């Protein structure tokens, strides 16, 4: 991958638009820029009261030896997480990567969901090894993780909904592709989990969140609650991980349909079919609407458990659409918050951007995705250069679209995060005179909205992306060491 400076130099020789073209060229052609210092992101990790977490779950995280213990002056890094529901009737759902090279844990989890009818009740996660493109041995290792976790669940005295010997555990792995798991270490870790800090509060969930991490700079853990129409409190907790190899495209389980992993647990009661429907909707508008580098992983997985521990009436889409939509929308809002954490981490990225378009939802989403994944747009953002011609270029090559783009109808603006006046760059196809000094100040901020108005309809979509920095190249040029 070319360095960010080289990309900016190459980009400076391409076509630009509008009165700002000359200044943009002079600004971006420098090849002597020093890499920016990436600000700390640990402030995104927040303490959460124990009472905020959903009822009926146990969680833990520990070190089993998949990850290297490089800094012997610090505790070894967590690389194994287990989360389980303590209620016997737990609904489960998932969305998996559409990459043709689906990792062994993806295949195993898909089968578990099918065989249990959406009633898996536990999750085991390892980091440090993706167990992807690992052949028959990789499949055996993933199944071994699931069965060992089933045994752990039974030691707590929790029974499953059915008497079937089928596994009720979903499996996720993240790390280097093409390497076999040190399975004996993982299985020993699962056996030892019972004596680790298993709990239902903030500390236990934090240890689990740390075990998800690879190149992440902070544990990604959130919790929220809402009150349903009958006055009942419903709680969510969520963990995800990801900073690179992020441009997910996930769908529900079924035939071919550094990694993004995520799990959401709720104490709501909802049927498996309705939970899958709600999760699919939520993922399309959250995790499927983020991009760090344009690379879709072999392991991308989002799972959701709903155990009914809130003692509320079961939500079913076919029986009470109003209650279902309320749950779906709350789940979507929570998923968006979790997805934004991935973009904020962004493997060295220093900016968070929202892209909005207006046409059919599918067209808007496709255009927003193309702009968000453009390396030239990302490099301009990193260089704090309002080279907005790159944005229009990405819009213009997006295909296929159901409605052709009309260049004379497009408007483009930067929306500052401080609430100040919008910076118009293009209005109905005509370039504006851009205040380059103000544009740079807007781009210096951590958050920015790039608003693309297509002028073709009333539909819109959002995408969350980031810049492409020197640190991203450094991290991914040395990932396996």
Query: Residue 35 has what DSSP assignment?
Result: P
Q: Give the chain's radius of gyration (CA, Å).
A: 23
| From 206, 215, 259, 301, the catalytic residue | 259
User: Which strands form 290-291's sheet, in the order they lie side by side?
Assistant: 290-291, 460-465, 352-358, 447-453, 411-416, 423-427, 430-431
Q: How far apart are CA 355 and CA 314, in angstroms?
A: 36
Residue found under tokens 């929202």: 354
Which residues 6+ apart lie within 8 Å of 69 measured at CB?
Answer: 63, 76, 77
Q: How far apart are CA 123 and CA 211, in angstroms?
A: 13
Contact 93, 279 (CB under 8 A): yes
Vertex 25: Cα angle to 23 and 30 (nearest 5): 110
For residue 123, what are the CA distances in angstroms to 83, 150, 182, 223?
Answer: 5, 10, 19, 18
Residue found under tokens 């301009």: 380
Contact 44, 341 (CB under 8 A): yes
Q: Nearest to residue 302, comparing CAs of 62, 122, 60, 106? A: 106
Q: How far apart are CA 340 and CA 463, in angstroms?
A: 10
Q: What is the dihedral of CA 293, 296, 298, 301, to 10 degrees?
A: 100
The question of whether 116 is a catalytic residue gets the answer: no
Catalytic residues: 259
């Amino acid at each position: 991958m070319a360095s960010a400076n080289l990309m900016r130099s190459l980009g400076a020789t391409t076509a630009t638009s509008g009165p700002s073209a000359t200044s943009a060229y002079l600004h971006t052609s420098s090849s002597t820029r020093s890499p920016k210092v990436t600000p700390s992101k640990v402030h995104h990790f927040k303490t959460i009261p124990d009472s905020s977490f959903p009822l009926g779950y146990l969680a833990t995280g520990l070190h089993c030896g998949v990850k290297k213990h490089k800094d012997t002056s610090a505790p070894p890094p967590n690389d194994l997480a287990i989360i389980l529901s303590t209620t016997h009737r737990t609904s489960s759902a998932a969305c998996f990567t559409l990459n043709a090279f689906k990792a062994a844990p993806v295949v195993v989890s898909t089968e578990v969901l099918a065989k249990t009818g959406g009633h898996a009740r536990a999750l085991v996660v390892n980091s440090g090894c993706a167990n992807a493109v690992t052949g028959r041995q990789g499949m055996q290792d993933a199944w071994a993780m699931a069965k060992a976790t089933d045994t752990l669940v039974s030691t707590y005295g929790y029974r499953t909904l059915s008497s079937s010997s089928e596994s009720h555990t979903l499996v996720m792995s993240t790390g280097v592709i093409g390497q076999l798991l040190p399975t004996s270490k993982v299985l020993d870790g699962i056996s030892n989990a019972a004596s680790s800090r298993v709990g239902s509060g903030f500390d236990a969930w934090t240890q689990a969140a740390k075990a998800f991490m690879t190149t992440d700079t902070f544990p990604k853990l959130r919790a929220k609650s809402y009150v349903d129409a009958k006055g009942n409190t419903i709680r969510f907790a969520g963990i995800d991980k990801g900073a690179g190899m992020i441009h997910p495209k996930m769908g529900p389980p079924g035939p071919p349909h550094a990694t993004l992993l995520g799990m959401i647990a709720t104490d709501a009661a909802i049927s498996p079919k309705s939970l899958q429907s709600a999760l699919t909707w939520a993922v399309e508008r959250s995790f499927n609407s983020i991009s760090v580098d344009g690379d879709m992983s072999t392991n991308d997985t989002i799972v959701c458990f709903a155990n009914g521990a809130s003692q509320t009436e079961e939500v079913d889409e076919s029986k009470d659409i109003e209650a279902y939509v309320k749950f779906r929308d709350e789940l979507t809002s929570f998923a968006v918050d979790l997805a934004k954490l991935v973009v904020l981490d962004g493997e060295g990225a220093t900016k968070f951007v929202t892209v909005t378009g207006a046409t059919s939802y599918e067209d808007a989403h496709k255009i927003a995705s193309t702009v968000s994944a453009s390396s030239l747009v990302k490099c301009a953002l990193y260089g704090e250069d309002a080279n907005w011609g790159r944005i229009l270029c990405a819009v213009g090559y997006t295909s296929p679209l159901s409605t052709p783009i009309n260049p004379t109808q497009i408007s483009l603006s930067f929306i500052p995060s401080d609430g100040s006046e919008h910076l118009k760059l293009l209005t109905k196809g005509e370039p504006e005179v851009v205040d380059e000094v103000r544009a740079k100040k807007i781009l210096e901020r951590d958050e920015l909205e790039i608003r693309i108005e297509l002028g073709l309809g009333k539909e819109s979509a959002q995408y969350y992306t980031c810049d492409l920095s020197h640190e991203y190249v450094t991290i991914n040029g040395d990932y396996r060491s």
